[in-house]
Amino acid sequence: MPAVLNYPGVYIEEIPSGVRPIAGVSTSDTAFIDYFPRGALNKPVRIGSFAEFSRAFGGLDTSSEASYAIAQYFLNGGSVAWVVRVAGGAPAAASKDFPDGGGAVIRIKAANEGTWGRRLKVTIDTNTDPTGRFNVTVREYAIDPADQVVRTEVHRNLSMDVADGRYSINTINAASELITAERRAAAGANAIPAAAADVALTGGDDGTAPTTPAQVQSGIEALDQIAPAIFSLMCLPGATKLGDANYKIVIAAATTFCGKHRAFLLVDIPDTLTTAAAMSTWRNDNTKMPATSPDSAIYFPRLTVPDPLAGGVPRDIPASGTVAGIYARTDAARGVWKAPAGTDATIQGATLVTEINDDLNGTLNIQGVNALRSFPIFGSIVWGARTTDGSDAKASEWKYIPVRRMALYIEESLYQGLKWVVFEPNDFPLWSQIRLNVGAFLNGLFRQGAFAGVTPRDAYFVKCDKDTTTQADVDRGVVNVLIGFAPLKPAEFVVLKIQQMAGQSEA
């Protein structure tokens, strides 16, 4: 009621409706963890195009399986990637000290590790300003300092006085995408660097592709940094280069991480698996094949793409990036409940390393291995929709990719959309609000055709009441919500029964 009723008339009060809409989360933001020639180490970066990836991570590189996978991802329909650079060896950033005549005043370093920093040239110009200010200009060249400038940054009116609002170290480190700055010992407390023209940074080391599971796992765990954003798919194209034992360790860690984050892993296969027979043998070899999981899928064969770095010579690449792009394209066009397979799931810009027939496809399919096939007219397409838990022998309820991904989508959407429930009074009004909001979310999916069933009653249910949440639960601060949905399972086998009609006579 209004706080004070002190005069005759009409009083208006707005009453909360209890409606808190639940928004569906993204289903196809894909994480790529691998070696790249540039970019911050163990730091996820959101990328929206291959051009943006090239700018941040250096583009295609012959030592980086993921660079080709990312190109395929965007070519086949992907829109958002979270890219994490990992490396072995001793990666280091190129740098250069700039003195004032008596000693080094400031050290300029490339923004991240790699020999790419040698393509940076720094110009320092001082002016006659009595307060002692200077400008720093940084130019990045295409290949070496003799080539064209591809990017330029200018940082003006800098000071070496830590109390100044344009203190050079803070200003450069906050604004620059190309360099970082460090203060060095100097003759005077506020001595500024001497003028310098087009001085190239030196040193720097790219590091190497990862050689141990720990180096890749550090990149996987770095994805925790993207919160509150999420990723829904994960690709580890370079993991197959680690050797069988290390490969299994990395895939096991990635599967566990994906399960924790309600994400889905696309498992790549080694380049030695060039025949369906070899793939089948590997699939059943527990010393090589990673453990099965409802949160992962595997595809055969690998793909071939023309390599721009080798004059168009075909290059064998993992399939995960391509398939992730097809997942994204299917999700956008049809929804996460549609299997990312079939004649619509065409592969762009790549061909298959190996062609397989129906019999070989059948052998792999019952083992939970999804085939990539070529058909007349349609070209190369994805022709399988099973999780690695989807072998016939396991009879898993999470046999099919769209069923599992639909469950993950609902779980993550409700996890994000029900945070308001925490610390609310745990009683009938709260339970009613939960039923209202979760029911509205699921009904929206039903109206889009996401569930099996003719009516909402057939398609889903939401239960949150005194039966799901007992007094003992209330005393412990627990509210239980029971949700069920009828998944749409793909028509994996289409059986046509044809009968000849004979002996029909005219009336």
pLDDT, position 147: 72
Phi and psi, residue 198, nearest 5°: 50, 55
109 or 290, which is more confident?
109
Q: What is the pLDDT of residue 491?
A: 83
Q: Counting Cβ atoms within 10 Å, is residue 413 exposed (0-12), middle (13-18) or buried (19+)?
A: buried
Token pair belonging to 302: 């690998």
Whose structure tokens read 């940074």?
Answer: 201
Q: In this structure, is residue 136 part of a structural domain?
A: yes
- Shared domain for 222 and 355, answered yes or no, is yes
The angle subtended at Cα 443 by Cα 440 and Cα 445, nearest 5°, is 115
**pLDDT for residue 370:** 97
Asked if 309 and 232 sit in the same domain, the reply is yes
Give 145's pLDDT tier (boundaries 50, 70, 90): low
Averaged pLDDT of the chain:
92
- What pLDDT, on the 0 to 100 scale, is given for residue 130? 61
What is the tens place of the pLDDT at every residue in 277-304?
A: 999 999 988 888 888 899 999 999 999 9
Measured in Å, how far apart are the chain's first and last C-alpha atoms? 81
Cα separation, 137 vs 143, in Å, equals 19
pLDDT at position 187 over 50: no
Residues 17 and 34 occupy one common structural domain: no
Q: What is the CATH number of the domain that holds 144?
A: 2.60.40.4290
> CA 413, 297, 393: angle at the middle one, nearest 5?
110
The pair of structure tokens assigned to 98 is 């700039």
Containing 31, the helix (H) or strand (E) segment is strand 30-34
Task: Name the token pair of 416.
Answer: 């994000």
Asked, for residue 318, whether it belongs to a domain, the answer is yes
Same domain, 188 and 317: no
**Which element (helix H / strand E) includes 296?**
strand 296-300
Lowest mean pLDDT among 115-124, 181-190, 309-318, 365-374: 181-190
Planar angle of CA 392, 360, 321, nearest 5 degrees: 80
Per residue in 25-67, pLDDT tens? 999 999 999 999 999 999 999 999 999 999 999 999 999 999 9
For residues 44 and 223, the answer to whether their CB atoms sit within 8 Å is: yes
Pair (176, 132) in one structural domain: yes
> Is 418 a domain residue?
no
Is position 112 within any domain?
Answer: yes
Q: Which of these, 243, 241, 239, 232, lies nearest to 216 by C-alpha position?
A: 239
Task: Answer yes or no: are the C-beta atoms of 384 and 378 closer than 8 Å.
Answer: no
For residue 457, being part of any structural domain is answered with yes
Q: Which two tokens stand for residue 419?
A: 């945070």
Same domain for 279 and 256: yes
pLDDT by residue (tens digit) across 203-238?
Answer: 999 999 999 999 999 999 999 999 999 999 999 999
Query: Which pLDDT belongs to residue 505?
Result: 61
Among 155, 185, 205, the domain-final residue is: 205
pLDDT, tens only, 429-452: 999 999 999 999 999 999 999 999
Domain that holds residue 152: 92-205
Q: Are residues 271 and 371 in the same domain?
A: yes
Where is 83: in which H helix or E strand?
A: strand 81-85
